[in-house]
Structure 1
Amino acid sequence: MGVAYSVGEVDHLYTFFVEWSPDIYNKGNKKRCKSCYLKRKKDPNSHHVTDKDMTAGNKCLSKPVSDSKTLKNWEIITVKESKRRLSFCSSVESEAEENEYEERDEDFPVLSDQSQLLNEYQLQKLAAHMPARTQGYPWNLVYSTSIHGSSLKTLYRNMAGLDSPVLLVIKDMHKQVFGAFSSDPFRVSKYCYGTGETFLFSFNPDFQQYRWSGENSYFVSGNWESLQIGGGGGGFALWLDADLYHGASFSCPTFHNAPLSTHEDFIVQDVEVWTVQN
């Protein structure tokens, strides 16, 4: 940023620089006589150039070229120009901040209700890692233990007739938040269902995502007694009982995941299920 000087100060500085470097600042102008500077010296309110200043100026000019280049970086501008540049810099910074805010806003999902389990950081992380076909669509809350009570049957009933992916969010008694994105809504079925879009996630406290490994297709299965996600290795990646009270999480071949909770067997505090649809 440049340095602003008044008109009077610019005149004094110009006089000083002419004496320093007459070959640079006096090009195309008539050479000033010594009496010009002596007249200025008589004025007590004016800046004057002394023999010491001239000696110092000559010393500066005799320094290496690198120092001369440094001197060339200085620029004398008017107060008006200084204000114009400051105004321009402020407008550029404001525009950059606005663009950054808009980018963050684009990644943030629109929710039909306020989530009791996910904060803004967690919502933004999940939205950014969900399949492309879900991007830009609002999230609708289809089940919550705080609203509908703790019942797997109610969870299934609230998703009857639904044909869109769902996001299961769990908070256990150790305040850990984790869950799963399912390409299909949860239902009772004799066989496993779902696609490779299904994934697991946890915030412990950093975001971790576990995608399909391709080793098997045991994505989701459900009956009236429990809901299971992932399997094939003697344990489920995520398991919930009929009362949505007891849960378990183990490593399994479907996702090659670590246990989602800090405890393989955990007590559920709250559950939310969101659907992402047009």
Structure 2
Amino acid sequence: MEPAEDDHSRNASTSSLPLFSAPPLTPLTIDGYRERTKTRLLTRELAEEIRHLLPLRLQLYDTWRLCYSLEQHGVSITTLYNQCVPPRGASRPGYVLLVEDKAGGIFGAYLNEYPHPTKNGRYYGNGECFLWKSKVIPPLATAASAANGKDSDAAFPYTGINDYMILCEPFFLSVGGGDGKFGLYLDDRFEKGTSNSCPAFGNEALSDEGPKFSIVGVEVWRVSSI
């Protein structure tokens, strides 16, 4: 029989164990592309990068569902709005917007509410929202460091300067605002867009084409339990 472990040894061995270890996330499934769809903006690798920037409650969901694709659903901002209405039973879903420009750049936003037009030009959304551009995306910087232009140049979180998160109208969709500029703006025909530094996110222009860019593709993905 081995000698009994004394209290000191037992405490020493257990104190080195982590108090909490989050379980690994299950691999993502991206669901919704048709077999003949040629323009596919979201890869599983990019989805995994964005996943780690989402609120923790959404990181646990392992299936992202396509709500809208410019190729699959046609050129209509009204269709995009209608396709993004969450189904009954979807608890606090999140939405990932992707845009491809003519130069081949992929960028977009995370929206904590589904995109929809509002009365009287009212902004909505909260500090979970962020802008991003497709690079190797590190964890989100703090609001203070983002406001000072430090850390990641690929993910741009809420700065706390204003509450201009999401503004959608029948003729455009935009994310981020202030000082008369939009962090990301798409026209209703999905032909032209703009991206400027805005106080809400302290971002750089998302498109390498510059503040104005030509749109090649648009997608919106829902992250939820159903």
Which residue does the alignment assign to 2:212?
265
Equivalent residues of 1:240, 1:246 under 8 A apart:
yes
Question: Is residue 2:126 matched to residue 1:179?
Answer: no
Q: Secondary structure at the match of 2:41?
A: coil
Q: 1:165: how far off? A: 1.5
AA aligned to 1:132 is L
List per-residue Cα deviations over 1:170-216 (Å, max 9, x = no partner). Answer: 1111000000000000001131000100001001x443110000000
Name the Cα RMSD after superposition: 1.8
* 2:179 aligned partner: 233
Between structure 1 and structure 2, the one with the greater Rg is: 1
- 1:161 shift after superposition: 4.8
1:245 and 2:191 aligned: yes
TM-score where L is the length of structure 1: 0.59
Greater fraction of residues in helix: 1
The residue number in structure 2 matching 1:132 is: 56
- Could you tell me how far 1:229 is from its partner in structure 2? 0.8
- Tell me if structure 1 keeps the 8 A contact 2:98–2:108: yes
Partners of 1:198 and 1:218 lie apart in 2 by: 10
Choose from 122, 144, 149 the match for 2:46.
122
| Cα distance in 2 for residues equivalent to 1:206 and 1:135 | 18
Q: For residues 252-272 of structure 1, give each alpha carbon's deviation from its aligned partner in whole angstroms, at most 9, with x where no partner exists.
A: 000000011112101110111
- Equivalent of 2:133 in 190, 198, 202: 202
Query: Quick check: which one's strand share is greater?
Result: 2
Give the counterpart letter for 1:221 in structure 2: L
**Secondary structure, aligned partner of 1:134:** helix
For 1:120 and 1:157, how far apart are their aligned partners in 2? 25
Contact map agreement 2:176 2:184 (CA 8 A) in 1: yes
State the match for 2:84 in structure 1: 159
Cα-to-partner distance string for 1:61-111 (whole Å, 9 max, x where unaligned): xxxxxxxxxxxxxxxxxxxxxxxxxxxxxxxxxxxxxxxxx95xx363222
- Kept in 1: contact 2:183–2:203 (CA 8 A): yes
More relative contact order, 1 or 2 (CA 8 Å, 6+ apart): 2
Identity of aligned residues (%): 32
Q: Secondary structure at the match of 1:129?
A: coil
Q: d(CA) in 1 for partners of 2:165 and 2:79?
A: 21
Residue in structure 2 matched with residue 113 of structure 1 by the alignment: 32
- The DSSP-based 3-state class of the residue aligned with 2:177 is coil
Give the residue type in structure 2 aligned to 1:108.
P
Aligned counterpart, 1:193: 124
**Residue 8 of structure 2 aligns with which residue?**
none
| 1:145 aligned residue | 70
CA distance in 1, matches of 2:174, 2:205: 14
Q: Is residue 255 of structure 1 aligned with residue 201 of structure 2?
A: yes
1:206 and 1:133 map into 2 onto residues whose CA distance is: 23
Answer yes or no: is 1:213 the counterpart of 2:159. Answer: yes
Distance 1:119 1:249 in 2: 23
State the match for 1:168 in structure 2.
97
- 1:198-241 Cα offsets, whole Å, 9 max, x none, are 001001x4431100000000000111010111111221000000
Query: Aligned to 1:154, what secondary structure does the other structure show?
Result: helix
In 2, the alpha carbon distance for the partners of 1:234 and 1:192 equals 14
Q: Structure 1 unaligned runs (5+)?
A: 1-101
